[in-house]
C-alpha cells in the first residue's frame, strides 16, 4: 500500500492529511503544519496528491474509436467542445484510459489551474493532481457522499 499525503483546498484554505490521518485537516496557514508537510515531502516517504476541488472540475466519460485514440492528445478538446460551456482555449483537459474504447476525462479552467499551481508553489513535488470525487471509495452500484459544512463531494461511478 502506498503512503499518500492528500492536500486539499477547503473554503479557500490549503490543508493536508498525512497517510492514515484522522478526519481533522492540518492547515497550511499554520507554520507548524506547513513545516511538517515540507519535512514529510523532503523525506520522500510519502507520495503527495493534490485533491482538485470537485466543484471546479468536470468529469466526463468518453467513448472513442481506435482511429480517434491515435490522436487523442490533440483532438480531445475539439471532441468535447459541444459538451463544455466555455471556450476550449480557456480550458485544460486530462484523460485516463479505461480500456481500448473508453476514457475518463477531466476538464477545468486554465485560470483555476494557475491559481492552484500558485498555492502549491511552496510544496515542490506535488505532481499528482486527482479530482476530489475520485479520491472517495466506490463500488459498482453504489454512490459515496461526503458532506462538509455547506458543501458536498460525491462519487457516482468509476470515473464520475
DSSP 57: -
- Which pLDDT score is estimated for 108? 94
73-109: pLDDT as tens digits: 888 888 888 888 888 889 999 999 888 899 999 999 9
Strands (E), 3-159: 4-10, 13-17, 26-27, 47-52, 58-63, 91-99, 102-109, 128-131, 144-148, 151-155
17-52: pLDDT as tens digits: 988 766 788 999 999 999 988 988 888 788 899 999
- Which pLDDT score is estimated for 1? 45
- Residue 96 phi/psi, 5-degree rounding, is -130, 130
Out of 3.40.1620, 3.30.160, 2.60.200, 3.30.1490, the CATH code matching 55-110 is 3.30.1490
DSSP 110: H
- Which pLDDT score is estimated for 88? 86
The answer to whether residues 116 and 52 touch, using CB atoms and an 8 Å cutoff, is: yes
- Which pLDDT score is estimated for 79? 86
What number is the average pLDDT over the span 3-15?
A: 91
- Which pLDDT score is estimated for 2? 66
DSSP 160: -
What number is the average pLDDT over the span 106-116?
A: 95
122-136: pLDDT as tens digits: 888 899 999 999 999
Residues 6+ apart with CB under 8 A from 103: 61, 62, 64, 72, 95, 96, 97
pTM assigned to the model: 0.86
Nine cell digits for residue 29: 496557514
Domain segments of the chain: what residues?
4-53+111-155, 55-110
Amino acid at each position: 500500500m502506498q503512503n499518500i499525503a492528500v492536500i486539499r483546498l477547503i473554503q479557500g484554505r490549503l490543508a493536508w492529511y498525512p497517510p492514515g490521518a484522522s478526519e481533522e485537516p492540518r492547515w497550511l496557514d499554520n507554520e507548524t503544519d506547513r513545516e511538517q508537510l515540507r519535512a514529510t515531502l523532503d523525506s520522500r516517504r510519502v507520495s503527495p496528491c493534490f485533491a482538485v476541488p470537485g466543484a471546479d472540475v468536470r468529469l466526463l466519460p468518453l467513448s472513442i474509436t481506435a482511429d480517434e485514440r491515435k490522436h487523442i492528445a490533440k483532438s480531445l478538446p475539439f471532441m468535447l467542445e459541444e459538451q463544455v460551456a466555455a471556450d476550449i482555449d480557456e480550458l485544460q483537459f486530462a484523460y485516463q484510459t479505461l480500456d481500448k474504447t473508453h476514457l475518463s476525462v477531466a476538464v477545468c479552467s486554465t485560470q483555476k489551474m494557475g491559481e492552484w499551481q500558485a498555492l502549491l508553489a511552496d510544496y515542490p513535488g506535488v505532481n499528482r493532481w486527482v479530482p476530489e470525487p475520485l479520491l472517495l471509495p466506490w463500488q459498482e452500484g453504489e454512490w459515496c457522499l461526503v458532506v462538509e459544512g455547506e458543501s458536498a463531494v460525491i462519487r457516482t461511478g468509476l470515473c464520475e
